Amino acid sequence: RVTKEVDSTSKEAKSFLKQQEKRQSAAPGSLPTVSGVKRPSGMSSLLGKIGSKKQKMSTLEKSKLDWENFKEEEGIVEELAIHNRGKDGYIERKAFLERVDHRQFEIERDIRLSRMKP
């Protein structure tokens, strides 16, 4: 189990509180019954309610949480943000490659058009 302390006014804390309110408002006993809908009954239904498993954290969620904690502990959040915006950042490299590809396409197009007009 992983616990994370956040400021009560942060965006993450507010979203967590909203999720808790939704869970409480959608209590299992308050579900409306609709005719024609098969309701679970019998022993399997009772066992399902009693022994319902908690949702497990996926590997991706755990990795993301570990990475966030590591960044906070090492104090490298701002440094990473600055680095990613800079010349060596992924987004900047993708934009550069896209510009190069577009420029190369225009050059090739101009060559093709010039050959077509003798």
Residues 79 and 66 in one domain: yes
Other Cβ atoms within 10 Å of 83 Cβ, number: 13
Q: Between the CA of residue 36 and those of 29, 32, 39, what are the distances in Å?
A: 19, 12, 9
Structure tokens belonging to residue 27: 């209590």
Q: How far apart are CA 80 and CA 71, in angstroms?
A: 9
Residues 82 and 61 in one domain: yes
Q: Is there a domain that residue 36 lies in?
A: no
Q: How far apart are CA 73 and CA 32, in angstroms?
A: 47
Residues 80 and 102 in one domain: no
Q: Is there a domain that residue 102 lies in?
A: yes
Domain region containing 74: 57-86
Question: Is residue 91 within a helix (H) or strand (E), and if so which, with residue range?
Answer: helix 90-116
Q: What is the pLDDT along the chain (118 residues), one digit of tens a residue?
A: 777 777 778 788 788 888 888 777 765 554 545 555 555 566 666 666 666 666 778 899 899 999 999 999 998 888 888 777 776 678 888 889 999 999 999 999 999 998 886 6
Angle (nearest 5°) at CA 56 between 51 and 57: 165
pTM: 0.32
Residues 97 and 81 in one domain: no
